[in-house]
Amino acid sequence: MMFVQRFTFGFNISDTKTITHGIAIYTDPPNNNACVTGKGPTFVCNVRNSRMTPPLPANAPGGSGVRLTNLDANRLDWDDKLTIEFLNDRPRICAIEIVKADNLPTVFLAGDSTVTDQPREPGASWGQMLPAFFKPDVAVANYAASGQTLKSFITDLRLDKLLSQMKPGDWLFLQFGHNDEKSNWPQTYVEPFTTHKAYLRAMISEARLRGATPVLITPMERRGGIEGNTHGEFPASIMDTAREENVPVIDLWSMSKKLYAAMGDQVGEAFADPTHHRNYGAYELSKCIVQGIKDNRLRLADHIVDDFGRFDPAHPDPFASFRMPASAGRMGTGGGAAPKSPARRTGPDYQD
């Protein structure tokens, strides 16, 4: 289910910079106490639940809902509610208009924890940042989840739920690899160039069957692979599949290596741990994705915000100029500033 929200803030909207970050809206109010009604930023939000229509007849395989795991516990992804957070120094709201909008084109995201909406500061993903770069005429539905692989995304019925919501004109962005490559996970491991390609082809075919456009994305490199390769042959296997299936591909693996190298001494500010990212890193990676949309000349590029321009990963935004207020709702302890040091985070939220 998609909704369009129109927010009117208690200050001059024309002087306001608004960034969407997952479920949060950050605003920079000027020194103006006037309450201006009837105008304001508009954005689109996907709201969903884990329920599915039970398969018929009763003995048919399947299920009545997504098989949620402990990694999904206490998260807002599946609660069928719209949760909004207003942050910054003086967030003031005059009015909110919420309108159902079921017929907008939707960008569905499928992937692991490097794509999902991370629930706690300082973690974030490029999928979490992506809505900031689209006009309010397209929705982003982030179905990615921590710990997922190509196989588990199917067996947990996450793909079935996603496909049940898909319509002609939609998009399916696929970024897997961090967990699929783990041979010590024998139930979900896939081999590059063989079973890996087979599972990618299955998802590509399911999207095309419903009139949607699949897009493959190579997994971004880990911090330890800036001058090497921690993903082995998986990026090449994805690139091969894209060529063979005539599918658009965004080579985030190559782009991320350029990005990290260009960050130099500031690269630590991009990472929450050796694999996952903080707000700054996630925002820059999301810019890589948007530039990949433009480079592929996808029709989706028509929905990118007008002021995006062009992004070169070899010239990232300096960390000193990046500002994003910490989400009080994502701190887990009731608020406060996000840690400034990129301390390693562990636990289920940071499983690949």
CA pseudo-torsion sign 148, 154, 155, 157: positive
User: Measured between alpha carbons, how far is residue 149 from residues 10, 112, 178 in Å?
Assistant: 44, 7, 8
Q: Hey, which residues does 42 pair with through a beta bridge?
A: 6
Catalytic residue among 152, 269, 284, 327: 269
> d(Cα 120, Cα 122) in Å, to the nearest integer?
6
Catalytic residue among 196, 276, 277, 303: 276
**Residue ranges with strand state E in 78-142:** 85-87, 93-100, 106-111, 123-124, 139-142
The answer to whether 286 is a known catalytic residue is no
> d(Cα 195, Cα 201) in Å, to the nearest integer?
10
Q: Hey, which residues does 3 pair with through a beta bridge?
A: 45, 100
The answer to whether 276 is a known catalytic residue is yes
The answer to whether 269 is a known catalytic residue is yes
Structure tokens at 40: 């304001």
Catalytic residue among 113, 152, 237, 327: 113
Q: Cα–chain-centroid distance for residue 222? A: 17
Element (H, E) at 3: strand 2-9
Instruction: Show which residues are catalytic.
Output: 113, 269, 276
